[in-house]
Amino acid sequence: MKKLILRIARFPHFFIVLLVFPLLGFFIYARYFASQFFALLAGSILLIIVYLVYSYISLTNRQSLILLENGEYEERLNLLQAEISREKQANNALQGKITRYSLLKELTEKLCVSFSLADTSQVIAADVNAVYRQGEMTVIVYFLKGTLNELSLAASLRGQGPLNLKAKKGDLYDQWVVKNLKPLLVEDTRNDFRFDPEQIHNEDERMVRSLMSVPLTVGEKTIGVLRVDSSQEHHFSTEDLRFLNTVGSISAVALENAQLYSRVEDLAIRDSLTGLYLRRHLMERLTAEISRHLRSDEEMSFLMIDLDHFKKYNDRFGHTAGDIVLKTIAMILTDMFSQPGQIVCRYGGEEFCVLLPDCSKRKAGQLAEEVRKKIETQTIILRRERTHVTVSVGVAAFPRDTPTKEELVQKADSALYEAKASGRNQVVLAKEVK
């Protein structure tokens, strides 16, 4: 019966016609052949009307029930779709976390084999850039130097290449992080009441609309600041900041290890009293410079410097005063020979030496005379007494005077002793090989 009702609902006109034709036939029959058939015909019509009304009500109820069931199915479908969407979002978030922590693992492995501050800071900047590589962003690493909490630019990266920053010592955002030692998230620099955007623009002409920054700390010690910024507002989320803070914790330990390694390395190649390089490091650099000058056919010079009558000076004023003199001479030599490639070394005792790459013997002699005069005129106050010291200098050149490293040092040393034998406080050039 239900199937019949559904078919009537689907094809109503067909069943109406099918019903009308028999009734019309009954009416004609009753009109012309049997008038008493009208009563039967009226009763039949009445029954048909009752049945149709009943069928209509049943059909309406069935349609309402079907609509209700459809609504429930649609609601369930919407709930399932929402659940699927949440699962997809959770899956995407999980995939993002897996990717990020995989990059974090790679960063940790790279930092384990990075020992210099420069290499470590570049590795940090490159890997952080790989994590947040959506759009054009800038990654900056600052070191904290001195007792005044002054920042110094260590590495900056935008896209795949380095970036020349105007704010070498950081801006208001970086100073805020150093002062508060808290992570900073700025979603829109133009609408953040904590900072003045005009002052930021005057410090750095780059367009910065959003940023996040974390302090690099180990225990109670602050190493520096790690910052990521973008020219688009609302580019970073709290989840991004949370992950950057994790990266910062690992990076801070790596930077501290690099600083410690640098100090240990300096102790191995530098004199603890004067801060100058030791003889071992000088001989290593001398070998490399000789190889380079052989390829370039350029001349290289070497100075050997010795304090005159230093033993008598120590006997008169004491060894502490002698240390002060050595430090003063070291500062003068460091200031005088500060060009790239030039190396000042404490050769031993009161002897110093200077390596001058790409410098002719004649030019080296002139520089030696300048430094001799500067030391001679330098006043050193010891025990409230104004004192002066003098030096003797020997000059040799490669390859003019010798073709080997050992002979170059020996030639300069021989010229030095000739200067001492000739009365001290003078410069003597090594004799050229004929």
Active site residues: 350
Separation of CA 394 from chain center: 48
2-10 helix and 12-32 helix, angle to the nearest 10 degrees: 100
* 189 DSSP 8-state letter: G
Q: Give ∠ CA 211-213-179 in degrees, rounded to 5.
A: 125
What are 367-370's contacts with CB under 8 Å, separation 24+? 367/303, 367/336, 367/337, 368/303, 368/305, 368/393, 368/395, 368/427, 369/393, 369/427, 370/336
Distance from C-alpha of 140 to C-alpha of 128, rounded to nearest angstrom: 10
Q: Give the CA distances from residue 29 to residues 22, 42, 45, 365, in Å, rounded to whole numbers and listed in that order.
A: 11, 13, 15, 146
- DSSP letters, 61-95, are HHHHHHHHHHHHHHHHHHHHHHHHHHHHHHHHHHH
10 Å Cβ neighbour count for 359?
Answer: 23
Upstream peptide bond of 403 is cis (omega within 30 degrees of 0): no
Task: Return the ∠ at Cα 389 (arms to 384 and 394), rounded to 5°.
Answer: 165
Task: State which H helix or E strand residue 146 sits in.
Answer: none
Count the neighbouring beta carbons within 10 Å of the beta carbon of residue 11: 10
CA 238 to chain centre: 19
Q: Which amino acid is at 402?
A: T
Compute the C-alpha angle 372/376/379, nearest 5°: 140
